[in-house]
Structure formats: structure tokens, C-alpha cells
Amino acid sequence: MNLPPEPAPALIHSLLQQMLAEDLGSAGDVTTDAIAEPGATALARVLFRRAGRVAGLGAALETFRLLDPATRVERLVPEGEDVPAATTVAVLRGPARAILSGERAALNLLGLLSGVATATGSFVRAVAGSKARIAATRKTTPGLRVLEKYAVGVGGGLSHRFGLYDGILIKDNHIALAGGVGPAVARVRDRTGRTARIQVEVDTLDQLAEVVELGVHAVLLDNMDVATLRRAVALIDGRMLTEASGGVTLETAPAIAATGVDLISVGWITHSAPWHDATLEVVA
């Protein structure tokens, strides 16, 4: 599996600093500051309590270096590795105050992103053997999209459309506002030109038949049952990219993939994936 590049530290520093500020406030870590002398050092390990896929470890470890550049971090497993329970994934050495004060922000990030990657990997395995790819949606935690979409990639999924600016998707509310599918597509083409890649959301076969005649590039088949999806794929007959969406679960994903769709978009992998159980333990 080809992993996406890890987010550059410069790209996420402000986000990490916000996480730390949320935890430290104006008074700082009053408990740690009372117990750990300014020059005290510590050795700690970060471990996964249960099996899962590692994602966001680099970003999480950067949290400690932001608190104190003297903190030394050692990654023991690479991004994208599936590890068993009780695996130590990193070791920290350095200022005790930085290690203890950065613990929660770092583990929150690691637990969230590893949970997204692990959940995505489960869906990817569920559709293995089909041509369908698992794609993320824009249903992400506010402010964390760049990291959650990265974690989807670590899990083997596609980021798909990152925001409103990098793809044209005409949805049901656009269609209602324009007065129909045809007028909506016409307005987009008038504004962007006929070569623009347009995707249209449909929820009935009648709508789909109209979209096929318009010659757009992709169609989002929203909340269709498996039988309807199969008929939709046959109607399209390879003339445009097909994406199935709406309430997809691990149990339903294999049957949806078997209909022949190209993409299956799953909001659950970013908005509801269980956090991974990671912890930090001071060992010396």
C-alpha cells in the first residue's frame, strides 16, 4: 500500500499549539509543575492497548517537541503498520514537564487518527476483490480535516473531494435551487466551461436517466438499495464514474461493492470511528 506523505510539521504546528493551549490554559500544567522540578527528566513509552493501525504518530510526537525541543523521540513502528495489542510504538526521553504536559494532546491525536485509519482499513478489507475503492467524505471534525483525511489514506482509502473548492458536486439542494438537474448542470457549465468535471447526486433512477443524457463525468448514487444500485450501474454502462453513498456499514459494503460501483463513500470512518486506545507510561 502506498501511504500518503505525512503532514509537514509547519502545516500542523498551529493546530498542535491550539490543542496544547486548550489543555494548558494561562496557568499551565499546575500538577506537573508542582511535582516535577524544572530540570527533571523522564523516560516514557507510548503504547497501543489494543490491536490497530498506526496513524498520526509523527504529528503526536511533534507535540512534545513543541513544548520543549530538548525532548527526544524514537519511533519504533512506521506509519500504516498494523500492530498487536500491547505494542510500544514510540519512546520519549527528555524534560519530564514536557512529556507529562503534552501527554493528553498527543494521545488524543494519535487515538483519533489511528482509529480513523483502523476503521478505514476494515472497510477496505470488506470490499477486497472488487473494483470499489473506499472514499472519505467532508464529514470531518471541524479543524481536523487535513489530519483525518490523511488518516483515511493511511487506512487505504481515498481522500476524494477535500473541500468545496476542489470539485464540482451538484447535490439535491443545488438541484432544488436551480429548478432541476438540467438547469443546475447548465449553470455550472456556463460558469466553468464544458470541460469542467461535474458530479451530480441522484437518488432515483429517473434522475439518473436524465444525468446520463447530460454527459457529466460522475454520479453520486445516494441512499439506493443494492438492487437499485445494480440497475443504476447497468444503466450507466461505464459512461461515467459511479459513487455509492448513504448509510454504508461494514456489513453492507461487500454487497454494495459487488454491484460494480467505482467508489463507496463512507462518512462513518471520520465522524464515528472508535478512537484507538493509546497510552503513555513513564518508566524511569
Active centre residues (catalytic): 104, 139, 171, 201, 222
Type of residue at 100: L
DSSP-H helix ranges across 36-91: 57-67
- Report the Cα 105 to chain-centroid distance in Å: 18
User: Within 13 Å of residue 260, how many CA atoms lie on the same side as its CB?
Assistant: 14
CA gap 216, 267 in Å, rounded: 24
* Partner residues linked to 46 by β-bridges: 90, 280
73-146-57 Cα angle (round to 5): 20
Burial code (b: 16+ CB inside 10 Å, e: under 16) for 49-74 equals eeebbbbbbbbbbbbbbbbeeebebe
CA gap 26, 32 in Å, rounded: 15
CB 107 within 8 A of CB 59: no
CB 121 within 8 A of CB 89: no
